[in-house]
């Protein structure tokens, strides 16, 4: 699932919502970034398309830090 360049790879328990707010999504949408794919994993365990998208999330109010370069989940290949 992909939310405006923010890839969310985990499932919430039944009845729990982990989706970003509309205000947050609008903020991220209005943040200028490139389409470069160079993913980073945030401390929220979400994979961000690139460092610019991660920076947008932080600027829009996410209290996160980068925990690794690359996606949060290993890609089987």
Number of H helices, E strands in the chain: 2, 5
Q: What CATH number does residue 41 fall under?
A: 3.30.60.30
pLDDT per residue of the chain (77 residues) written in tens, 0 to 9: 444 555 444 443 444 445 678 999 999 899 999 999 999 999 999 999 999 999 999 999 999 999 999 999 866 65
Q: What is the pLDDT of residue 37?
A: 96
> The domain containing residue 60 runs over which residues?
35-76
In a domain, 60, yes or no: yes
In a domain, 48, yes or no: yes
pTM: 0.68
Number of structural domains, the chain? 1
In a domain, 1, yes or no: no
Contact 12, 18 (CB under 8 A): yes
In a domain, 44, yes or no: yes
């Amino acid at each position: 699932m992909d939310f405006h360049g923010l890839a969310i790879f985990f499932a919430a328990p039944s009845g729990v919502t982990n989706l970003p707010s509309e205000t947050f999504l609008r903020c991220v949408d209005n943040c200028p970034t490139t389409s470069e794919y160079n993913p980073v994993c945030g401390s929220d365990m979400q994979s961000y398309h690139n460092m610019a998208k991660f920076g947008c999330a932080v600027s829009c109010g996410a209290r996160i830090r980068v925990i690794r370069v690359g996606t949060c989940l290993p890609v089987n290949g």
